[in-house]
Chain A
């Protein structure tokens, strides 16, 4: 009787251990990515099969791009605040609002062209087929995503 109970309980323990072990082994890679310093770049390396040298170059490009991006983000914030102030002050499309809208559109175009430039540089760092796949993916998530969202609102 004791032996039977031991077998029953042992089976359950074995099942739980097998589950935990398999889960740990199976999620080892994604855990490493999430815990890395730049998880989004770790994901990029895995998703587009980048070698260490390619990853290093992509990381440099990423850092360069983000350093300029912070300034552009600040300009976007300022422009949005200015536009919000103008919109609250009147119920007409005044020349100031027209000018602010044109400047906001120009800023957006500048940001998007810088972003596209960055995407091309990153894609050129990757192996040709992966670079092509990266461009298609990132365009669909950024530029084409924005255009698609704008069409539906």
Chain B
């Protein structure tokens, strides 16, 4: 029974779809806009490829390669120094608090 209803519904749906006509006009210069977007997409991917190949070409020059290596070396040293300072400060705070807790029975009752 249910499947019969479904078939009838399906038929009526198919009829409606067959009779359906799009009457809303396309926006002006629709096709041109679609082609422009496709072209832009192609250009963007080729831009990245171009940029990468230029970067690889440029980095092969000794002066630029040396600058690149120096910048990364310096950045690594600075970041390491900065992180070490933070770790040292944290360790000193923990150890000084620990000293206080060890000597003051009212801050930590059990040794």
Q: Which residues of A contact B (CB under 8 A)?
A: 1, 3-5, 7-8, 10-12, 14-23, 25-27, 29-31, 33-34, 39-44, 47, 62, 65-66, 69-70, 72-73, 76-77, 108, 111-112, 115, 118-119, 138, 141-142, 145-146
Report the separation of the CA atoms of residues A73 and B110 in the bound assembly, to the nearest whole angstrom.
6
Q: How far is the CB of A72 from chain B (nearest CB, A)?
A: 6
Residues of B within 8 A of A4 (CB): 55-57, 59-60
**Does the CB pair B111–A14 fall under 8 Å?**
no
Report the separation of the CA atoms of residues A40 and B96 in the bound assembly, to the nearest whole angstrom.
6
For the A-B complex, the count of residue pairs with Cβ-Cβ distances under 8 Å equals 134
Chain A interface, >50% SS class: helix
**Does the CB pair A73–B109 fall under 8 Å?**
yes
Nearest CB to that of A40 among chain B residues? B99
Report the separation of the CA atoms of residues A26 and B83 in the bound assembly, to the nearest whole angstrom.
9
Size bracket, chain B contacts: 35 or more
**Does the CB pair A141–B100 fall under 8 Å?**
yes
Report the separation of the CA atoms of residues A11 and B79 in the bound assembly, to the nearest whole angstrom.
15
Nearest CB to that of A72 among chain B residues? B105
Chain B interface, >50% SS class: helix
Report the separation of the CA atoms of residues A119 and B104 in the bound assembly, to the nearest whole angstrom.
11
B98 at the interface (CB under 8 A from A): yes
Residues of B within 8 A of A1 (CB): 56
Q: How far is the CB of B93 from chain A (nearest CB, A)?
A: 10
**Does the CB pair A70–B111 fall under 8 Å?**
yes
**Does the CB pair B109–A26 fall under 8 Å?**
no
**Does the CB pair A40–B80 fall under 8 Å?**
no
Nearest CB to that of B79 among chain A residues? A19
Residues of B within 8 A of A26 (CB): 80-81, 83-85, 87-88
Residues of B within 8 A of A141 (CB): 96, 100, 104
